[in-house]
Amino acid sequence: MCGIVGYIGFNQASDFLLDGMAKLEYRGYDSAGIAVIGPENVIKIQKKVGRLANLEAIVKADPNEGTVGIGHTRWATHGRPSDMNSHPHASEDGKFAVVHNGIIENYMPLKEELIAKGYHFKSETDTEVVAHLLEDMYDGDFVGTVRRMLDRVDGAYALEIICADEPDKIICTKKENPLVIGLGKGENFVASDIPAIINYTRDTYILNDGELAIVTRDNVSVFDRKGNTIDKEVFHVNWNAEAAEKGGYEHFMLKEIHDQPKAVRDTFGTHISEDGKAAIFDELNWTADDVAAFNKILIVACGTAYHAGLVTKQYIENLARIPVSVEIASEYRYSNPLTDEKTLCIVISQSGETSDTLAALKEAKRLGAKSLAITNVVGSSISREADNTVYTWAGPEISVASTKAYTTQLVAGLLFAVYLGQLNGKMDPALGEEILCGVKNLPTLIHEIFEVDEDMKAFAKHYGFKSDAFFLGRAID
């Protein structure tokens, strides 16, 4: 998750960019940045880790003048939150600037290829490959180059790109991450989500996967991946700003329930081999000896994550036959724990900042345990403290009652259990394959549950539940 915005028109682009990013705050934030095409078509990038206010202060002190620009609020997936890892990312020659929401899954081989060609990477992000690829493939035709670049990247993305050679357009495209174009008069807007543009226009094009839009001041042309023109229908937004933040859902919990297919897909992402036979954790790269080095596993967590721990215990004990104990983090430190250097300590925390879990992790490490974090926030204190981290990709969860954060923790726990069972040979490979196939099918199955929403409402009504209370998991409101 993150927010991207773009502006092309007759006003200062930075005004809309900063305002639009503020409206996307609910999508998560760890840094923010803008790129604006200024005098003599030079692209000026300003970016800063932390809250949007940090960037606003920079732009106020040193205005970024120009009427075409793109902006990004980041929710890090690759590389910790830092000034350098913030978006936009630029090509080395300064011709292209890119903002990206999502994950470029094949960024590693692309990065190696580009480094071998002499390109220098400034950030640890997956996104930066896009900027260098554009420079590498550029033949003077901005649109054509973007199309050819897209043939080379795999993964999920909403992308906005500007080019100093063609300063009168923004190119944007999407796959599996949202992108909306706001249609104005003599100006047009791009954003991840409607709240960013609702104060400027209510006429929009909602881009579909694979569509590419060329946005100029007076026109928006949309094409499919082959270059055929698509006749987009204007979607007129009737929602108020508050409903728009929730994607049209009545409350965040409902929205986040509906986010689950994507969150689950993003979480198993690269952890299942292409042939579906193996769980892969490149970030761990453990051997059978690494697994044999511990004789027990301790899972420590609080609240919902503790419950994910209880389920993960079943996964690991069944598949890898290693004894697992699950402790509530706030109690662990005071329990004279039987933790030693033959223990693997797994901590689970959505935010990566749960203070009891962090303290328990430090204590387990002090006692000699090897540690692994399962968390949703790149660069969080727990991810920095643990020896290794497995990320869930749920995006920010606003609702207090957890949904997608919990389900993605279960997916991460299950895949890790399969990984352990593979490595120590205690799991029947056919069973592992069957589980991985099941995990891949989860997004479809979750969608199927949504299809019976109306039946469930009718069922709840029949039994006297208020429909909302039913969906909130409470028997009676």
Q: Which residues bind ligand GLU (CB under 6 A)?
A: 2, 74-79, 85, 100-103, 125-127
Residue number closest to ligand GLU, CB atom: 2
Task: For residue 377, give both structure tokens.
Answer: 């926030």
At its nearest, how many Å lie between ligand GLU and the CB of residue 366? Answer: 32
Nearer to ligand GLU, 127 or 260 (CB): 127
Q: Is the CB of residue 8 less than 8 Å from the CB of residue 61?
A: no
Nearer to ligand GLU, 44 or 47 (CB): 47
Closest among 89, 27, 36, 39 to 59, alpha carbons compared: 36
At its nearest, how many Å lie between ligand GLU and the CB of residue 391? Answer: 11
At its nearest, how many Å lie between ligand GLU and the CB of residue 74? Answer: 4
At its nearest, how many Å lie between ligand GLU and the CB of residue 73? Answer: 7
Nearer to ligand GLU, 339 or 389 (CB): 389
- Percentage helix, strand, coil for the chain under 3-state DSSP, each rounded to 5: 40, 25, 40
Enumerate residues 6+ apart whose C-beta is below 8 A from 291.
320, 322, 420, 423, 424
Q: Which residues of 442-462 are buried (b: 16+ CB within 10 A; e: fewer)?
A: bbeebeeeeeeeeeeeeebee
Q: Report the C-alpha gap between 152 and 80 in whole angstroms.
A: 25
At its nearest, how many Å lie between ligand GLU and the CB of residue 63? Answer: 25
Nearer to ligand GLU, 130 or 194 (CB): 130
Q: Half-sphere exposure of 360 toward its Cβ, with a 13 Å CA cutoff?
A: 34
Nearer to ligand GLU, 84 or 278 (CB): 84
Q: Residue 116 phi/psi, 5° resolution? A: -60, -30
Q: Is the CB of residue 92 less than 8 Å from the CB of residue 129?
A: no
Nearer to ligand GLU, 395 or 421 (CB): 395
CA 317 distance to own-chain centroid = 30
